[in-house]
Amino acid sequence: MSEIVDSWVERLKGKIEPIGSMSHWERMAAAFERKPVDLIPVAPELDYWQITYAGYGHDETFNDVDKTTDSCLKTWADLRTDAIWIYVDIGHQLDSMVPPEERDKYFQVRGKKDYVLFHPLTNSLDEAIALFEDKVYTRYMDSSRAASHFTPHILQLLEFQEKMDRTVPVIVGCATPSNHAEAVVGVENFVKWLITEDKAKMKHYMDLVTEERLGALDFYNEFFINNGAEFFCMWGGARTWGPRQLDEFGYADRAFVDKACKLFKYPFMHHCGKNLPQAMEIIADMPCKAVQYDEPYYSMDQDWRKWCETAAKWFEGKKCAMNAPTTQKACFAKPDEIKRMVNDFLEATVPYTSAVVMPGCEIDSYAPVENVKAMIDAAREFNV
């Protein structure tokens, strides 16, 4: 049991007013099932943002589980979004690939509001293959922040979820093979190798990464699903893939999605960046229940509203659509612009499918509080 969780449960359970006629959980579940909702669900990806909103710095929470969990619960208590996002950083994803004494070379906490930076673990495809062939992630897992920080943090949030009688869901997440493959070596190297390296060697690398990622899902099943996790974000890569790369290597993410969708009740795909139509159409046919998508590809001659309508038509009868505003607008626009973008997304989407207000990627730590509140207000005010 967690003292920090119990303190928040004591403060909140039975003492907060409901929002609408449905609980947060019921509202999110209904949207995922494309059923009627009382209000449009709003669940912006607040992982990094929560830390500084709660008054902490990333230097404080980097290795402090209780402060990390406290940040997420304070944020939810204040804003009452329809889901609680876990906090995650690149160290959680890659720590287990690096010997403990060398991690300072690869991960850097720059400042209180800044993202945790990382350097590619290798600039060589052969070395990247060797990392996975040798299964170094099994050698260093027990000493990684994934074990000491990430897993306890998620378990604390799931404890809160259960003690609050599942009135609000916790969203857990995991990188897909394409995301993990590019994170290990850096996007620039990965994209270059897709074109310049031997295809058989690249396929071997993707197969090894896929094997590791499918094993990660077994861990999630044992530790998180068995503790109540039902909403699952699959952080996709392939943001910079062209149609040929999607055809050649898209099988890796499909295998991951297929397994995740058999384990989790409410899985959704996260596909940020400039979204290629071919990628969106592929995702539309995957078995996940929802898609968190982002902006249109550079060459698409569509304004924001038309793009949202195009995506909604792809997802009609298949998926809940999750977007608005863009993360850039959330950081730099004015509240009125935020509300306009949310309204455009919803007006273009709900004639075709269900919707959740959720920007295509995580909210930046520097995004103003009033902008986050504006997207929440816009969702709550929308006439369903």
* pLDDT 10s digits, 137-195: 999 999 999 999 999 999 999 999 999 999 999 999 999 999 999 999 999 999 999 99
pLDDT reported for residue 88: 96
Instruction: List strands edge to edge, sheet with 320-323.
Output: 84-85, 170-175, 231-235, 266-275, 290-296, 320-323, 355-357
- Neighbouring CB atoms inside 10 A of 133's CB total 11
Share of the chain above pLDDT 70, in %: 100
pLDDT band for 237, please (50, 70, 90 cuts): confident
Residue 273, phi-psi category: left (phi > 0), alpha (psi -120 to 50), beta (remainder): left
- Is the distance from CB of 61 to CB of 147 less than 8 angstroms? no
Could you tell me which residues come within 8 angstroms of residue 193 by beta carbon, excluding any fewer than 6 positions away?
125, 185, 202
- Neighbouring CB atoms inside 10 A of 215's CB total 12
Residue identified by tokens 């929802």 is 290
pLDDT reported for residue 110: 87
User: Is pLDDT above 90 for 376?
Assistant: yes
Cβ-count burial 278-306 (b if 16+ within 10 Å, e if not): bbbebbbebebbbbbbbbbeeeeeeebbe
pLDDT band for 48, please (50, 70, 90 cuts): very high
Domain boundaries in the chain?
A: 3-16+24-381
Q: Which among 57, 164, 54 is positioned nearest to 116, based on CA atoms?
A: 57
Q: What is the mean pLDDT of residues 64-76?
A: 98
pLDDT reported for residue 200: 97
Q: How distant, in Å, are the alpha carbons of 32, 36, 45 from that of 353?
A: 10, 10, 21
pLDDT reported for residue 223: 97
Q: What is the mean pLDDT of residues 249-255?
A: 96
pLDDT reported for residue 248: 93
Cβ-count burial 148-163 (b if 16+ within 10 Å, e if not): ebbbebbbbbbbbbeb
Q: What is the mean pLDDT of residues 5-17?
A: 97
Share of the chain above pLDDT 90, in %: 93
Q: pLDDT digits over 283-304, tens only?
A: 999 999 999 999 999 889 999 9
- Is the distance from CB of 131 to CB of 180 less than 8 angstroms? no
Q: Which among 254, 215, 218 is positioned nearest to 234, based on CA atoms?
A: 254
Q: Which among 384, 368, 383, 373 is positioned nearest to 44, based on CA atoms?
A: 373
Amino acid letter, 264:
F
With 0-12 / 13-18 / 19 or more C-beta atoms within 10 angstroms meaning exposed / middle / buried, residue 373 is: middle
User: Is pLDDT above 80 for 238?
Assistant: no
SS3 assignment, position 132: helix
User: Is pLDDT above 80 for 29?
Assistant: yes
Q: pLDDT digits over 80-129, tens only?
A: 999 999 999 999 999 999 999 999 999 998 889 998 889 999 999 999 99
pTM: 0.97
User: Is pLDDT above 90 for 1?
Assistant: no
User: What's the CATH fold of domain 3-16+24-381?
Assistant: TIM Barrel (3.20.20)
User: Is pLDDT above 80 for 210?
Assistant: yes
- Is the distance from CB of 20 to CB of 80 less than 8 angstroms? no
Q: What is the mean pLDDT of residues 208-228?
A: 98
Residue 21 φ then ψ, to 5°:
-90, -10
Q: CA 274, 275, 277, 279: dihedral to nearest 10 degrees?
A: 130
Q: Which among 250, 242, 237 is positioned nearest to 174, based on CA atoms?
A: 237
pLDDT reported for residue 117: 87
Q: Is-cis flag, bond preceding 18, omega within 30?
A: no
As a whole number, the mean pLDDT across the chain is 96
Q: Which among 138, 158, 161, 139 is positioned nearest to 150, based on CA atoms?
A: 158
Could you tell me which residues come within 8 angstroms of residue 298 by beta carbon, excluding any fewer than 6 positions away?
274
pLDDT reported for residue 111: 87
- Neighbouring CB atoms inside 10 A of 216's CB total 18
Radius of gyration of the chain (CA): 20
pLDDT band for 199, please (50, 70, 90 cuts): very high
Residue 180 to residue 175: CA distance in whole angstroms: 6
Could you tell me which residues come within 8 angstroms of residue 212 by beta carbon, excluding any fewer than 6 positions away?
132, 135, 137, 180
User: Is pLDDT above 80 for 239?
Assistant: no
Q: pLDDT digits over 342-366, tens only?
A: 999 999 999 999 999 999 999 999 9
